[in-house]
Amino acid sequence: MPGAAFASTTPLHGSPLGIASAHGSVLLGLEAHPIRVEVCCTRGPAFFQMVGLAEAVVREARVRVASALATLDVLLDEHAITVNLAPADLRKTGGALDVAIAAAILAATGYLPADSLERVLLIGELSLDGRLRAVRGALPLIQGARRRGLALAVVPSENEVEAGLSAEMDVCVAATLREVVRHLRGEAVLRPARRTTLVPRVALGERDLAEVRGQAGARRALELSAAGGHNLLLVGPPGSGKTLLARCLPSILPPLAFEEALECTMIHSVAGVLPPEVGMVSSRPFRAPHHSVSEAGLVGGGDLPRPGEVSLAHHGVLFLDELPEFRRSTIEALRQPLEDGRVCIARARARAWFPARPIVVAALNPCPCGFLGHPRRRCRCTPEGRQRYRSRLSGPLLERLDIHVQAPPVELSALSGTGQAESSATVRERVLRTRATQRERATALGLSASLNALLSGPEIERVVELDGKSRRLLQSAMDQLGLSARSYFKVLRVARTIADLEQETRVRAAHVAEAIQSRAFEIVTP
């Protein structure tokens, strides 16, 4: 490539000096902010300066751009170049502006027609030899350009699969800066990005419910969690199968819908965990962060806001094993996302939002040694030790977990039995049927969400009509267990899911009783 004859080394007009601009974009959260790349080029002592609140990565673009332009036989050693990234008060970071900067310089020096950059979004990081590298968040950048009325987006070839998800805007792909320049000069035409078709698949992973022996109560709770979108707390001694149960949950969830896949893809792309060759998230995510994760790692943060594990698990499962071992400040940061379904990361200069609506599955031992209440092993913990262990978890956090269930030790008869437990495929059929029932009801009544776990208080009261026996049972539970208003509505949501799973139109007293049992926080304490 370097040194090859290239028609664009001839300026298109007599005076290769002037001002030009190109369209770029940067991300703040999942929101794309337009950047106008303005370039002023004059004769004089050579320099290349950049203004407009550019971070170090963006300022270093002058080295990448100069080297990439040299491969086109365009040298900048006789030009004084000033690049302004507008608006000036918005921080710019990342390498996605490289191509827009290079194109604006070529237009300012006369190697590109000035009007060729109108209504064209240029994104991509440049390598020193002029190749285009993939960037984070290509899909939200393209969607932001569509909303601004731009006609075309040019992206690196490595982002093609992700960019192909945008069906409402023309997108072309390029492997090198040379291809981009030839297209803008009208000497060649870039190849349109192939449309990406979502092929949803069930996140079977490595585990199937058929592997779970015994644990009828925990299996029932897992099915309710999947059917209604309820958060789940598993309490039991070591080796009782809590982790196995959690890892089976994605296998009984429905495949991703297209809109859900788009949201997941954008989050993973912005976070930089979406492999370019994959290009999209086609199955429900499963995230299981280690208990040493930081607050920013769990809920998102950083100087430049990035999504955390709770957002990366959006529409999937977030598994928090050994919940009391997490730093208290870290897990307490989950309270707002669990309630609102999104994370707000506020900084002095910016504010970013990320969606965060996973099913949260938490697991813990009943005490520090793990054997409190074990039928065959003696607990070695002191009452003070148990209290310290329990005090690591706040009531408001536990209250946000809809279903609490014990996972007792598995008996030998269950482990050595020859009977085959239900597979994930069988359970998933019931979950799909139950979710279809909720979806039909939400459409008929005009509810804000289809899943029972996401219905507001007034909405869940519309779909749960309690008879006298159920009301007395619920009142007694409120008095004896000290349930809060939040717990009251969570009981109603879980009871509605139980009824839906059993294909019952009305919520009966048996459904309410089972839902109340799932709110008994005392199972966690000695």
Per residue in 81-114, pLDDT (tens digit) is 999 999 998 989 999 999 999 999 999 999 999 8
CA quadruple 501, 507, 510, 512: dihedral, nearest 10: 100
Q: What's the rounded Cα separation, in Å, for the pair 235 and 403?
A: 11
Q: 3-state DSSP call for residue 518?
A: coil
Phi and psi dihedrals of 140, rounded to 5? -65, -30
Element housing 121 (H / E): strand 120-122
Q: Which structure tokens are listed for 251?
A: 């296998």
Beta bridge mates, 278 = none
pLDDT given for residue 277 in this prediction: 74
| Domains detected in the chain | 12-192 (3.30.230.10), 209-524 (3.40.50.300)
pLDDT given for residue 51 in this prediction: 95
Closest CA to 224 of 493, 510, 516: 493
pLDDT given for residue 374 in this prediction: 86
Q: pLDDT 10s per residue in the chain (526 long)?
A: 333 444 445 555 434 458 999 999 999 989 999 999 999 998 878 899 999 999 999 999 999 999 999 999 999 988 899 999 999 989 899 999 999 999 999 999 999 998 999 999 999 999 999 999 999 999 999 999 999 999 999 999 999 999 999 888 999 999 999 999 999 999 999 999 999 887 777 665 568 898 888 888 999 999 999 999 999 999 999 988 899 999 999 999 999 998 999 999 999 999 999 887 778 898 999 999 999 999 999 999 887 889 999 999 999 999 999 999 999 999 999 999 999 999 998 877 778 899 999 999 999 999 999 898 888 889 999 999 999 998 899 988 998 999 999 988 887 766 766 667 889 999 999 999 999 999 999 999 999 999 999 999 999 999 999 999 999 999 998 888 888 889 999 999 999 999 999 999 999 999 999 999 887 654 444 3
Q: 3-state DSSP call for residue 79?
A: strand
Distance from the first to the final alpha carbon of the chain: 72
Cβ–Cβ under 8 Å, residues 228 and 431: no
Closest CA to 432 of 255, 260, 295: 255
Closest CA to 134 of 110, 114, 115, 161: 161
Q: pTM here? A: 0.90
Q: 3-state DSSP call for residue 446?
A: coil
Q: Is the dihedral of CA 38, 42, 45, 46 positive or negative?
A: positive
Q: Is the dihedral of CA 406, 410, 413, 419 positive or negative?
A: positive
DSSP labels, 284-318: --EE---TT--HHHHH-BTTTTB--HHHHTTTSEE
- Count Cβ atoms below 10 Å from residue 86 Cβ, excluding itself: 15
Q: Which structure tokens are listed for 444?
A: 């008929």
Tally the residues of the chain: 526
Q: What's the rounded Cα separation, in Å, for the pair 18 and 142?
A: 29
Work out the widest C-alpha separation in the chain, in whole angstroms: 92
Q: What's the rounded Cα separation, in Å, for the pair 507 and 72?
A: 72
Q: Is the dihedral of CA 49, 54, 55, 59 positive or negative?
A: negative
Q: What's the rounded Cα separation, in Å, for the pair 344 and 308?
A: 11
| Range 207-229 burial, b when 16+ CB lie within 10 A, else e | bbbbebbbbeebbbbbbbbbbbb
Q: What's the rounded Cα separation, in Å, for the pair 151 and 171?
A: 9
Scanning the structure block, which residue is given the tokens 């039991």?
A: 236
- Side chain identity, residue 218: A
Cβ–Cβ under 8 Å, residues 193 and 160: yes
Phi and psi dihedrals of 336, rounded to 5? -70, -45
